[in-house]
A and B are shown apart, each in its own frame.
Chain A
């Protein structure tokens, strides 16, 4: 995994660590690593449970990482930065917290970054087996539901590869954050770093997809975009943040009868471990 954007001391400290899911850096505080759903401090000798000899994050570390991530050109990546994330070349997503600069209600940029959350996505082969079995013979409009960091994107990536091999659909992936960069296939088209409205409009008009895969329906616009696609006769597989089917139904912008299957993932589990499957009437299957 290429983490060469990290400062040398941090890079050396993590060089022997495996299965890192997440690295959290906050200015003035110890650096934390998440491995198999548990947080550890990062020390010069690897991981530590207590705060002795831990590596503290300095402002210079954050600046160094941002300079590397943006190839010394923040202006070229400002569209991502103002949305609060940057993506490294191989699909690693870096969430950013800092001071937002607004002008006439529009966020121009984030300055004085104080925290970074480095999410290291992995390709876990066959993690979507269970869901794939539900969709293999007849792909249904499906929503994958779980809280953040439970493996929705990993699962969608694996599912896309499996559906590609199936060959029954021309698949269009709308990849807002460059997290599907490693997903390729003979039946897969990708529109990267675009919002859902633009990506779906462009894709539906010009790429004639049969199936659309997209991550994280966050707001009303996202749900409406999906509704438009379904009304165009397309199949769609998407994901959404929630910990239960009730939470999804309670969302202000939830649209009933849009999805035919709801897959709720287990919390704190491996990606793709199903808790429940519901049909369009919310009956457990």
Chain B
């Protein structure tokens, strides 16, 4: 019986490790969507004058699209757990400046934020690489200790 509980412990703790590492994965996906939206917006502003409401409908489903649409509908900025203070502040500032200026000013803003966005995206990729296996290993190790203690 204890053997089964021990094995179950290993599985649960490993899954918990994977769950924690998933945050970094979500963050990377968020910044990819963020960068894509920024690029799309720059193109649409210059050539088609499409509205942000229209552009947001064509985005991939994900946290970024949901947060953007929530802001457009209600003015509320969704707090995403995996964003740290600086990242959230960048996102919030981006939303506040979205669509409330003429083409020239809007383009200047979108261009100015592009570099910073790229840096956050790179950091998210590195974090994902660094912590993904770490969380899995820690989860597995804790599960193993639990297994030893139980049997």
Please report A residues at the B interface, Cβ cutoff 8 Å. Answer: 63-64, 66-67, 70-76, 78, 81-82, 101, 108-109, 111
Contacts and interface: CB of A to CB of B under 8 A. Distances in A.
Interface centre among A63, A67, A72, A82, by most B CB within 10 Å?
A72
Interface centre among A67, A71, A76, A101, by most B CB within 10 Å?
A76
Contact of B51 (A76, A82, A108): A76
Contacts of B103: 75, 78
B16 to A, nearest CB: 40
A158 to B, nearest CB: 32
Contact of B53 (A72, A74, A101, A109): A72
Contacts of A66: 100
Interface residues of B, number: 18
Nearest to B54: A71
A76 B104 contact: no
B101 interface: yes
Closest 8 CB pairs of A and B: A73-B51, A71-B51, A109-B102, A73-B99, A72-B99, A78-B102, A71-B53, A75-B103
Nearest to A71: B51
B43 to A, nearest CB: 13
B48 to A, nearest CB: 9
Contacts of A108: 102, 104
Nearest to A76: B49
Contacts of B105: 109
A70 B99 contact: yes
B104 A74 contact: no
A67 B99 contact: yes
Nearest to B53: A71
B53 A73 contact: yes
Interface centre among B45, B72, B100, by most A CB within 10 Å?
B100
A64 to B, nearest CB: 8
